[in-house]
Structure 1
Amino acid sequence: MVQDTPSVFVIILSGFILMLLMGSFIILMVLLHRKRQIENKQRLEALQAEFDKTILNAEKEIQEETLSHVGRELHDNIGQLLSLTKLTLNSSKPEKIQEGRQLVNQVIKEVRTLSKDLNLDWVNAIDLEAFIKRELSKLEDLNFCQIEFEKTGQAEEVDQSKKLVLIRVIQECLNNVIKHAQPKKLVITLIQNPQLLAVHIEDDGVGFDTQKASNGSGMYNLQKRMQTIGGSISITSELGKGTLVKLILPNSIA
Structure 2
Amino acid sequence: METWKEPQTIILWIIIVALFVIILLTSIIFLVRTIFKKIIKAKEKEAAIQLDYQKNLLETTIKTQEIERHRIAADIHDGLIGKLTALKMQQEITSKDQKTIDALHESITVARRISHDLSPPLVEFTKLPELIKELLDPWEQHLLITTIFDIRAEINDTEEFKVQITRLIQEIITNTIKHAEATQMYLHLKQTENYMALYISDNGKGYDVAKNSKGLGTKNIETRVQFLKGVYKVKSKIGKGTSNMFLFKN
Listed as ranges, the matches of 1:171-210 within 5 Å are 171-193=170-192, 196-204=195-203, 206-210=204-208
Q: Runs of 5+ in structure 1 lacking a partner? A: 92-106
Letter in 2 for 1:129: P
How far off is 1:220 after superposition? 4.9
Report if the CA contact (8 A) 1:188-1:200 is conserved. Answer: yes
The alignment-based identity, stated in percent, is 16
How far off is 1:246 after superposition? 1.8
Number of matched residues?
226
Moved more, 171-180 or 66-75: 66-75
Report if the CA contact (8 A) 1:55-1:165 is conserved. Answer: no
Listed as ranges, the matches of 1:108-119 within 5 Å are none
Q: TM-score, normalised by structure 1?
A: 0.65
Letter in 1 for 2:53: A
The aligned residue for residue 152 of structure 1 is: 150
Residues 247, 152 of structure 1: alpha-carbon distance in 2 compared, 3 angstrom cutoff: same
Q: Secondary structure at the match of 2:249?
A: coil
Report if the CA contact (8 A) 1:209-1:237 is conserved. Answer: yes
How far off is 1:173 after superposition? 0.9
Is the aligned partner of 1:43 residue 2:47?
yes
Moved more, 68-77 or 7-16: 68-77
The aligned residue for residue 136 of structure 1 is: 136
Q: TM-score, normalised by structure 2?
A: 0.65
Letter in 2 for 1:40: E
How far off is 1:26 after superposition? 1.5
The aligned residue for residue 235 of structure 2 is: 235
Q: Secondary structure at the match of 2:205?
A: coil
Is the aligned partner of 1:214 residue 2:218?
no
Deviation string 1:117-147 (CA, Å, 9 cap, x unpaired) is: 769994x77654343223223435xx44444
Residues 164, 46 of structure 1: alpha-carbon distance in 2 compared, 3 angstrom cutoff: farther
1: CA distance between counterparts of 2:119 and 2:158?
Answer: 22
Residues 120, 15 of structure 1: alpha-carbon distance in 2 compared, 3 angstrom cutoff: farther
Report if the CA contact (8 A) 2:184-2:202 is conserved. Answer: yes
Q: Runs of 5+ in structure 2 lacking a partner? A: 96-107
Listed as ranges, the matches of 1:68-83 within 5 Å are 77-83=81-87
Residues 198, 71 of structure 1: alpha-carbon distance in 2 compared, 3 angstrom cutoff: same
How far off is 1:25 after superposition? 1.4
Is the aligned partner of 1:170 residue 2:166?
no
Report if the CA contact (8 A) 1:188-1:201 is conserved. Answer: yes
2: CA distance between counterparts of 1:47 and 1:184?
Answer: 41
The aligned residue for residue 33 of structure 1 is: 37
1: CA distance between counterparts of 2:84 and 2:69?
Answer: 22
The aligned residue for residue 13 of structure 1 is: 17
Residues 199, 145 of structure 1: alpha-carbon distance in 2 compared, 3 angstrom cutoff: same
Report if the CA contact (8 A) 1:201-1:246 is conserved. Answer: yes
Report if the CA contact (8 A) 1:146-1:184 is conserved. Answer: yes
Deviation string 1:43-70 (CA, Å, 9 cap, x unpaired) is: 3333333333333333344445555655
The aligned residue for residue 58 of structure 2 is: 54
2: CA distance between counterparts of 1:120 and 1:39?
Answer: 46
1: CA distance between counterparts of 2:207 and 2:142?
Answer: 23
Listed as ranges, the matches of 1:83-122 within 5 Å are 83-88=87-92, 122=123
Report if the CA contact (8 A) 1:198-1:247 is conserved. Answer: yes
The aligned residue for residue 253 of structure 1 is: 249
